[in-house]
A and B are shown apart, each in its own frame.
Chain A
Amino acid sequence: MLRYNIRIAIKSLRRNPILTSVIIGGIALGICASTTFTTVRHMFARDPLPGKSSNLFYVRMDNWDPHAPYPTAPGGPGEAIPPQISYRDAMALMRSNMPVRQSASFIGQMTVYPDPKVGRPSSEMIRLVFSDFFPMFEVPFAYGGPWDKRADAKAEQVVVIDDDTNQKLFAGANSVGKRIRIEDREFTVSGVLKPWRPFIRMYDMNGNFVAAPEPVYMPFSLTPSMQIRSAGNSDGWKGCCNTFEEFLASDTDWVQFWVELRSPADAAQYRRFVDGYVLEEKKHGRFPRPLMNRVTSLLDLMVESGVIRPQVTAMAAISILFLAICALNLTGLLLSKFLARAPEVSVRRALGATRLDVFLQHITECELVGLAGGIIGMLLSIGVMRLIGKLITTTSVIALDSEMIMAALFLSLGAGFLAGLYPAWRICSVQPAVQLKI
Chain B
Amino acid sequence: MLRMKNIKKIYRTELVETHALEDFSLNVETGEFVAIMGPSGSGKTTFLNVAGLLDVFEGGVYELDDKDVSRLTDREMSHIRNQKIGFIFQGFNLIPDLDLFDNVDVPLRYRGMPAGERKTRIERAAEMVGLSSRMHHLPSQLSGGQQQRVAIARVLAADPKLILADEPTGNLDSLMAREIMDLLDEINRRGTTIVMVTHSPECAARASREIHLFDGRVIDVDRPPALFGGALKSAK
A437 touches B45 (CB 8 A): yes
Question: Once the chains bind, are B110 and A437 in contact (CB under 8 Å)?
Answer: no
Task: Please tell me which stretch of B76-84, B172-180, B208-216 contacts chain A, meaning at least 4 of its Cβ atoms lie within 8 angstroms of it.
Answer: B76-84
**What is the CA–CA distance of A334 and B110 in the complex, to the nearest angstrom?**
24
The answer to whether A437 touches B89 (Cβ under 8 A) is yes
A-B interface contact total, Cβ < 8 Å: 82
Question: Residue of A at shortest CB range from B170?
Answer: A437
- Tell me the complex Cα distance, A278–B121, Å: 90
Q: Residue on B with the closest CB to A14?
A: B97
Contact with B along A1-19 (1 / 0, CB 8 A): 1001000100110010000
Report the separation of the CA atoms of residues A347 and B45 in the bound assembly, to the nearest whole angstrom. Answer: 16
> A356's closest neighbor in chain B, by CB?
B75
Over the window 25-51 of chain B, the binary record of Cβ atoms lying under 8 Å from chain A Cβ atoms (1 yes, 0 no) is 000000000000000000001001100
The CA-CA distance from A349 to B96 in the complex, in Å, is: 16
Find A350's partner among B45, B79, B81, B97 (CB 8 Å cutoff): B81
Q: Is A354 a contact partner of B166 (Cβ separation < 8 A)?
A: no
- Among A11, A352, A432, A438, which residue has its beta carbon within 8 angstroms of that of B82? A352
Q: Which residue of A lies closest to B50 (CB)?
A: A433
User: Can you list, as one digit per residue, whether each of A344-382 has a CB less than 8 Å from chain B (1) or not (0)?
Assistant: 100111111111110000000000000000000000000
Does chain A have a CB within 8 A of B107?
Answer: yes
B interface bracket (residues with beta carbon within 8 Å of A): 20 to 34
Q: Which residue of A lies closest to B112 (CB)?
A: A1
Number of interface residues of A (CB under 8 A): 25
How far is the CB of B144 from the nearest CB of chain A, in Å? 15
**Does A108 belong to the interface (CB within 8 Å)?**
no
Given contacts A344-B95, A349-B78, A350-B81, contact A1 B109 (CB under 8 A): yes
Interchain CA distance A8-B98 in the complex, whole Å: 9
Chain B residues with CB under 8 A of A353: 78, 82, 110
Neighbouring A residues of B90 by C-beta, 8 Å = 437-438
Taking the complex as formed, is A395 at the interface, i.e. its CB lies under 8 A from any CB of chain B?
A: no
Measured in the bound complex, the distance between the Cα atoms of B90 and A437 in whole Å is 7
Q: List residues 51-74 of chain B with CB under 8 A from any CB of chain A.
A: 52, 54-55, 74
| Interface status of A431 (Cβ within 8 A of chain B) | yes
Among B83, B91, B158, which residue has its beta carbon within 8 angstroms of that of A437? B91
CB pair B107 A352 closer than 8 Å: yes
Q: Chain A: residues with CB nearer than 8 A to chain B?
A: 1, 4, 8, 11-12, 15, 343-344, 347-357, 431-433, 436-438
- Interchain Cβ contacts under 8 Å between A and B, 15 examples: A1-B109, A11-B98, A344-B96, A347-B89, A347-B93, A347-B106, A349-B78, A350-B54, A351-B106, A351-B107, A354-B79, A357-B78, A357-B110, A437-B45, A437-B89
Taking A4-B109, A351-B110 as known contacts, 6 extra A-B pairs with beta carbons closer than 8 A to each other, sorted by chain A number, are: A347-B89, A353-B110, A436-B54, A437-B90, A437-B91, A438-B90
